[in-house]
Amino acid sequence: MDKESLETADQVAETKREVAIRITMMPRDTNAHGTVFGGIILSYIDVAGGVEAVRHTGHDRFVTVAMREIVFLEPVFIGDLVSFYAETVKVGNTSVTIRVIVEAQRFGSHGQSVRVTEAEVVYVAINQYREKVKIKK
């Protein structure tokens, strides 16, 4: 595939996926070895999934009940532009399951991305008293 068709394929994929968050990693996000803390990525995964849960259901109050196994495949470095793509997998009675895919675009790489991790996160809809409530379908 030539460069032009690669870009076109990327653009098509980009338009089908919802970016919940896109953020550049800063020195404050790193450990002593110069790579980003896994916990920083986890917290953004949680937020990105929450954004999708609200977008998809129209309900505005959720708590995270479960984050399923998360394996980090590649490191994230300072300056990487990290995208958190989120899609709804399942809407249950009171819960919603969201898949979040994390990709890092290396600083100065002209758009080349690596898959960092992916996760399934389950949220439960609650009311102002923190009681679980049914999600309207």
Ligand X SMILES: CC(C)(COP(=O)(O)OP(=O)(O)OC[C@H]1O[C@@H](n2cnc3c(N)ncnc32)[C@H](O)[C@@H]1OP(=O)(O)O)[C@@H](O)C(=O)NCCC(=O)NCCS
What is the DSSP pairing of strand 62-67 with strand 113-125? antiparallel
39 touches ligand X by CB under 6 A: no
Q: Which of 64, 99, 114, 133 binds ligand X (CB under 6 A)?
A: 64
* Closer residue to ligand X (CB): 24 or 93: 93
The footprint of ligand X on residues 88-107 (CB under 6 A) is: 92-95
Burial-class residue 106 by CB neighbours within 10 Å (0-12, 13-18, 19+).
Answer: middle
122 touches ligand X by CB under 6 A: yes
Which segments of the chain does DSSP mark as H helices, in order? 3-16, 38-57
- Chain residue at closest Cβ approach to ligand X: 92
Kindly state the tokens that stand for 127.
Answer: 């009311």
Which residue ranges make up the site for ligand X (CB under 6 A)? 63-66, 92-95, 122, 124, 126, 132
